Amino acid sequence: MLKLTVTRLIGALPNVIGVVIVTFLLTRALPGDPAAYFAGPAATQEAIDQIRAHLGLDKSLAHQFAWYLKDLARGDLGNSLSTGQPVLKELTSRLPASLELTLCGLVLACSIAIPLGVLAATRPGSWADHLCRMLATAGVSLPTFFTGLLLAYIFYYLLGWAPSPLGRLDVSFSAPPPITGLYLVDSLIARDFELFMACAKQLVLPSVTLGLFVMAPLMRMTRASMLGVLSSDFIRTARASGLSRAKVLYAYAFRNALLPVVTTLGMVFSFLLGSNVLVEKVFAWPGIGSYVIEALVASDYAPVQGFVLTMALLYVLLNLSIDILYGVIDPRVSVEA
Amino acid sequence: MDTTAALQGAALKTAPGLRDTLRHVRYVATENPVTLGAFVLFFAFVALAVCGPWLTPYDPLASDTAAALQPPSHAHWFGTDALGRDILSRIMVAARLDFGIAISAVFASFFVGSVLGSIAGFHGGWSDRVIGRISDTIMAFPLFVLAMGIVAALGNTVANIVLATAIINLPFYIRVARAEVNVRRNMGYVEAARLAGNSDLRTLAVHVFPNVLPPMMVQISLNMGWAILNAAGLSFIGLGVRPPDAEWGVMVAEGATYIISGEWWVALFPGAVLMLAVFCFNLLGDGLRDMLDPRMRT
């Protein structure tokens, strides 16, 4: 197990290096003179030169890269132009909001997609199968931002069931004391159930929007791999041995069918982290996605780079944990590694 | 006399080919009506993209503040936006831009991806390792986030949206091309072509690559919907297409502020058309895949 983890960690290193190089190149690809850009429109030539020297832009590219790595090692992602705050600080303060939303979306998607996929595979041609196929094709065709708006219109404006789709919490409530930064968890820790319900209500629409989008690949994969497993020899043997239907389905078939589903989780996370940005904009969710959009609109450069780097590292980390999880579920993998 | 005979011979030769193709098309169409519907829809969208600007009932950029935020009516089928512009006209004009972005991005990644993937799959060795590393590095990013970063870094233009979309789709084409070429590189007909004195490049381009095209076509049509979604998503957050220009994502973004106060038509119609276009491509992709490779049917 430990050996597997270490092998995977080493395997992820080239990706981390690649990510850092690409982000570095993106920071240096700014159109025009980055020094003049960072100095702002009213800067004098002297100030621009000073900033150029400060950023190391007068040195060679290799030298700049070393400089960049040194800054990264110190956790310095630069300062935001519009707020003047260090980017790293702002990102970490906003990350819990995004995590809460992403996790809720993922849990929602899994809890609908996996059972429905299993149901579709056990009864091919039934209503569940058709529903599954329809949802899978429709799900990947829905622009996330459009679904979000549509849900807000129906459930907030027409039906009035959802609270106003702005932010994490209604203005009449104040945020729970921050412990984990996840409002749902924090409000439970503070034993404030009214607050918990208010947070949950605010979360429903954005996480449904997010969940709908990632449900499709999960459902497709569950159905396909379950179909494959159900027609295999060991399931026939299990049935012939007189095991109960539930035992065959859950203990033997489902566990084996789960493996390819875990592999698709990587792709699912790529979708999730990307569409998270769009959903945050639609619902004015104060996470890192809306932070980066504000920065983009203001042509504020450092936050965008910090965001891209953070997301990429997070994604590499997620893929790494999926790999390790894979080893836990499937003992054959760790033997081979 | 001789030439007519030759022509007749040629006609005789091609006639069954044509008939076969027609029969195949009919078979595909009757086999799966959904694919047929997707094809019809696709051609309708292409027609809209080509002729859209000449068919619009109003000038898509002309604002008329007296008629701002009108609900759908006989005069304005899809209503008007906050500046009184006709939404139907804007949607029709936008088709060209949206399809233009998606098609050029997908073809750029198809072209570059096929070349890189074929080289990697055909030669193996260090070229395979370098190209594999490039595609792994792209895949190490959440793709939409990478696209955002690229557009933000290179500048906020439509050309950069195309470039960003092409880059994030590149790994998929490289993978397909590499795998398909790799399987075929030692096949009998490739050996034969090589023994007949064809250079490596010629063997690859003339003998191997045409056989790789069918799976690549499936990848293209599956990818097209995603490319449109991606471009619309980027312009929704304010990258690429500048507001006065009509684009489906920008139009949804413009309508977003009004949907909460009940003016649903501003965002709904462009969003629905966008959805329909992506849906059409996905159905088309599924249909093509079923046609070309029944094993992958899920």
- Decide which of A43 and B267 is more confident: B267
A146-182 confidence digits (pLDDT tens): 888 888 888 888 887 878 777 777 777 777 777 777 8
Distance, in angstroms, between B257 CA and closest chain A CA? 9
- B283 touches A at CB < 8 Å: yes
Q: Which residue of B has its CA nearest to A294?
A: B237
Helix, strand, coil % in chain B, rounded to nearest 5: 80, 0, 20
Per-residue pLDDT at B2 exceeds 60? no
Distances (CA, A) of A149 to A181, B258, B271: 26, 10, 9
User: Which chain A residues contact residue B282 at CB under 8 A?
Assistant: 137, 140-141
pLDDT of residue B33: 73
- pLDDT value, residue A33: 62
**Which chain B residues are within 8 Å of A27, Cβ to Cβ?**
153
A123, pLDDT greater than 50: yes
Q: Residue B295: pLDDT above 60?
A: no
- Residue B144: list chain A partners with CB under 8 A: 270-271, 273-275, 277
What does the pLDDT average to over A108-129?
85
Which of A77-81, A272-276, B106-110, B152-156 comes out lowest in average pLDDT?
Answer: A77-81
pLDDT band at residue B15 under the 50/70/90 scheme: very low
Of B17 and A130, the one with more pLDDT: A130
Determine the pLDDT at residue A337.
45
* Contact call for residues A38 and A54 (beta carbons, < 8 A): no
3-state secondary structure chain A: CHHHHHHHHHHHHHHHHHHHHHHHHHHHCCCCCHHHHHHCCCCCHHHHHHHHHHHCCCCCHHHHHHHHHHHHHCCCCCECCCCCCEHHHHHHHHHHHHHHHHHHHHHHHHHHHHHHHHHHHHCCCCHHHHHHHHHHHHHHHCCHHHHHHHHHHHHHHHCCCCCCCCCCCCCCCCCCCCCCCCHHHHHHHCCCHHHHHHHHHHHHHHHHHHHHHHHHHHHHHHHHHHHHHHCCHHHHHHHHCCCCHHHHHHHHHHHHHHHHHHHHHHHHHHHHHHHHHHHHHHCCCCCHHHHHHHHHHCCCHHHHHHHHHHHHHHHHHHHHHHHHHHHHHCHHHHHHC
Least confident of A9-23, A36-50, B207-221, B255-269: A36-50
Confidence bin at B13 (pLDDT 50/70/90): very low
Of the candidates B279, B298, B284, B295, the residue with the CA atom closest to the CA atom of residue B32 = B284
Segment among B201-210, B276-285, B288-297 with least mean pLDDT: B288-297
What pLDDT is stored for residue A29 in this prediction? 67
Number of cross-chain residue pairs from A and B with Cβ atoms under 8 Å apart: 157
Per-residue pLDDT band for B111 (boundaries 50, 70, 90) equals very high
For residue B292, name the pLDDT band (cuts at 50, 70, 90): low
| Predicted model pTM | 0.84
The answer to whether residues A202 and A176 touch, using CB atoms and an 8 Å cutoff, is no
The pLDDT, as a whole number, for residue A55 is 66
SS3 B243: coil
Task: Please determine, for residue A206, whether its predicted confidence score (pLDDT) is greater than 50.
Answer: yes
- The answer to whether residue B108 scores a pLDDT higher than 90 is yes
Give every CB contact of residue A336 below 8 A, 6+ residues apart in sequence: none
Give A284-307 pLDDT, tens digit per residue.
888 888 888 888 877 777 888 888
Residue A333 CA to residue A218 CA, distance in Å, equals 22
Spatial contact of B217 and B180, defined as CB atoms under 8 Å apart: no
Query: A335 or A50: which carries more pLDDT confidence?
Result: A50
